[in-house]
């Protein structure tokens, strides 16, 4: 969860967030990345997803969560899972793998930012899992509220990653079923004008346990189908684009 979306206390994780975490773990597993012991999570937010990742890594593994927006109380929290380290300063050293999940859409010089992470923090041949919100035509007040500079076409994101020193080995989309919903929102805003989005972050989800579980299961099943298709070279459009890469 992006720190800008965090609301305390977190009563129920958004189904999108739950499904997203499970699907990213599935990608890492399929790509053979879960043997890493040194992983950097760039823009890690509240580190919930990093906690799910470290549970699947070897016992001695550490995931370093780097987010410049961490507060002193975030860094002092002793309730974190073992193997998680939080820092608001860029960590030193190199890592076997890097997570850059829904981060570069916030950065004006996205290629320069990714290049800096790759050359400074990722070992040669190391892996990177990157995700971004898809399709600029779907840019709405929701993106404005989350301080997104842009959304990406698959081709545009692929070009950015290649320019930054990464080689895309596998790619695909997630959340195809949500495309129509966002397209209707974008169309409505074009008709009536953009409105301030004041409460649609994932931290404000108030669905009950049954609804949350049902939606997460649906999105997860859809995501597994999309991953299966992408492994066969069939890529359907989705609300999110992801790429599993190696440092060249």
3 state SS of 34 = coil
Provide CB contacts within 8 A for 31, sequence distance 6+: 127, 169, 170, 244
Q: What is the pLDDT of residue 210?
A: 86
CA–CA separation, 234 and 91 (whole Å): 38
CA–CA separation, 165 and 207 (whole Å): 41
Contact 98, 126 (CB under 8 A): yes
Half-sphere exposure of 102 (CA within 13 A, CB side): 20
Please, what are the domains in the chain?
3-247 (3.40.50.150)
Summarised one tens digit per residue, pLDDT across range 154-209 is: 999 999 999 999 999 999 999 999 999 999 999 999 888 766 554 555 556 767 78
Q: 79: which 2 tokens?
A: 């309730």
Provide CB contacts within 8 A for 219, sequence distance 6+: 15, 16, 19, 20, 175, 177
Summarised one tens digit per residue, pLDDT across range 132-144 is: 999 999 999 999 9
Q: How far is CA 34 from CA 83, 117, 169, 243, in A?
A: 14, 20, 16, 16
Contact 100, 245 (CB under 8 A): no
3 state SS of 54 = helix
Q: What is the pLDDT of residue 195?
A: 62
Identify which of 7-21, 51-65, 191-205 has the greatest average pLDDT: 51-65
CA–CA separation, 247 and 161 (whole Å): 10
Task: Mean pLDDT check: name the lowest of 109-113, 206-210, 236-240.
Answer: 206-210
Q: What is the pLDDT of residue 76?
A: 85
What value does the mean pLDDT take over residues 217-245? Answer: 96
Provide CB contacts within 8 A for 11, sequence distance 6+: 206
Phi, psi of 115 (to 5 degrees): -60, -40
CA–CA separation, 138 and 143 (whole Å): 9
Q: Element (H or E) spanning 222, and its range?
A: helix 209-231
Whose CA is closest to 214, among 6, 18, 21? 18
Q: How far is CA 74 from CA 41, 47, 66, 71, 87, in A?
A: 15, 10, 12, 5, 9
CA–CA separation, 144 and 186 (whole Å): 12
């Amino acid at each position: 969860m992006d720190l800008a979306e965090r609301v305390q206390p977190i009563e129920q994780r958004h189904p999108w967030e739950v499904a997203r975490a499970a699907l990213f773990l599935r990608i890492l597993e399929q790509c053979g990345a879960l043997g890493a012991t040194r992983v950097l999570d760039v823009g890690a937010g509240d580190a919930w997803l990093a906690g799910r990742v470290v549970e699947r890594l070897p016992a001695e593994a550490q995931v370093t969560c780097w987010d410049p927006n961490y507060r002193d109380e975030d860094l002092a929290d002793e309730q974190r899972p073992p193997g998680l380290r939080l820092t608001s300063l860029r960590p030193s050293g190199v890592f076997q793998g890097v997570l850059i999940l829904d981060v570069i859409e916030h950065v004006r010089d996205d290629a320069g930012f990714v290049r800096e992470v790759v050359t400074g923090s990722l070992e040669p041949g190391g892996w990177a899992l990157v995700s971004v919100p898809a399709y600029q035509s779907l840019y709405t007040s929701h993106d404005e509220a989350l301080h997104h500079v842009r959304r990406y076409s698959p081709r545009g994101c692929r070009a950015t990653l290649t320019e930054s020193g990464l080689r895309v080995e596998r790619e695909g989309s997630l959340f195809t079923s949500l495309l129509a919903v966002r397209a209707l929102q974008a169309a409505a805003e074009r008709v009536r004008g953009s409105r301030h989005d004041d409460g649609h972050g994932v931290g404000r989800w108030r669905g009950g346990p049954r609804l949350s579980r049902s939606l997460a299961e649906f999105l997860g099943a859809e995501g597994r189908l999309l991953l299966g298709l992408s492994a066969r070279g069939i890529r359907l459009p989705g609300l999110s684009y992801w790429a599993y890469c190696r440092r060249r």
